[in-house]
């Protein structure tokens, strides 16, 4: 049995599209809703039997503890381990794809006890194209593993690993299995997401004295939207315009930017000319 665990917040519009895709590799699911205010909880409870959702957890912590993200991920991991040693951990904007069947994946996990499978992180920009400019070419991440022991996460305020570090890892041929990442499908949404992290880090440093990631790293990730594209032989399994199904103003990251920019009079941290900062201080209706 393979169990998928997912931490989500106000992304029910994605969950509705992703669950049928996630079922290709997962037999059951454990979710943690992190302070969601949309219809996430209602939808998950209404579809527990349909998708074999094993448990639905809730987290409503104030972001004050230095270990905030890893506390949440440890809780999710511990519950998932009750059902299986073979685990998948995906964000709401990710799914697994490749030539491998679920039976192939189970075989690999059973043959690699207490091992994390490192999978290539593919950055879709449209149905048949992916982003390959630095730093997004040939990136591998932890999303799948076998855990037959009491594994623990290391402390991280944010940007935590998805699985506990267990001292054993192996790369998987991306033709067999890879991570499909949807982040770059909509430039407005990705601009908001990366600017959100700039504000998040600013607030974390101001309130907690925590230094997380240099602001320039987010600029490098966006690369001023000068992206290099490559044709890809595994078509995107979800509609290209998925992000247009949710109002941009319902994006909790944009709401966070607005709230804390005003609260702490945060200057423009560099929004790539997208007008995100102006929206935050003036609350215009269009970005």
Q: Taking the domains of the chain in order of start, what are their residue ranges?
A: 187-229+239-282
- Of 91, 65, 284, nearest to 155 (Cα)? 65
Residue 34, Cα to own-chain centre: how many angstroms?
Answer: 13
Beta carbons of 270 and 215 less than 8 angstroms apart: yes
Give pLDDT, residue 64.
47
- Of 8, 70, 75, nearest to 44 (Cα)? 8
pTM for the full predicted model: 0.93
- Tens of pLDDT, residue by residue over 36-64, are 889 999 999 999 999 999 999 987 655 44
Output the CA–CA distances (angstroms, integers) from residue 253 to 21, 182, 189, 250, in the order listed: 25, 16, 9, 9
Ranking 37-51, 107-121, 145-159 by mean pLDDT, the lowest is 145-159
Residue 5 confidence (pLDDT) above 90: yes
Residue 142 confidence (pLDDT) above 50: yes
Give pLDDT, residue 287.
55
The span from the CA of 36 to the CA of 60, in Å, is 9
């Amino acid at each position: 049995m393979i169990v998928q665990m997912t931490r989500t917040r106000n992304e029910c519009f994605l969950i509705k599209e992703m669950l049928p895709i996630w079922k290709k590799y997962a037999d059951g699911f454990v979710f943690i809703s992190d302070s969601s205010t949309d219809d996430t909880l209602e939808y998950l409870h209404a579809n527990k039997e349909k998708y074999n959702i094993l448990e639905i957890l809730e987290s409503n912590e104030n972001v004050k503890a230095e270990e905030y993200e890893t506390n949440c991920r440890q809780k999710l991991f511990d519950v998932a381990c009750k059902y299986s040693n073979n685990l998948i951990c995906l964000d709401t904007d990710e799914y697994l794809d490749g030539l491998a069947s679920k039976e192939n994946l189970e075989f690999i996990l059973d043959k690699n006890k207490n091992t994390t499978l490192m999978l290539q992180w593919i950055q879709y920009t449209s149905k048949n194209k992916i982003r390959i400019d630095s730093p997004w070419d040939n990136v591998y991440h932890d999303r799948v593993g076998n855990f037959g022991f009491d594994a623990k996460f290391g402390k991280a305020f944010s940007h935590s690993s998805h699985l506990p570090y267990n001292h054993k890892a192996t790369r998987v041929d991306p033709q067999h299995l890879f991570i499909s990442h949807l982040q770059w499908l909509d430039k407005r949404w990705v601009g908001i997401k990366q600017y959100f992290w700039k504000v998040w880090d600013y607030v974390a440093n101001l309130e907690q004295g925590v230094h997380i990631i240099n602001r320039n790293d987010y600029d490098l990730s966006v690369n001023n939207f000068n992206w290099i594209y490559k044709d890809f032989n595994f078509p995107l399994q979800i509609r290209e315009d998925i992000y247009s199904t949710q109002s941009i103003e319902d994006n909790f990251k944009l709401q966070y930017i607005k709230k804390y920019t005003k609260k702490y009079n945060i200057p423009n941290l560099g929004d790539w000319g997208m007008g995100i900062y102006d929206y935050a201080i003036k609350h215009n209706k269009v970005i």
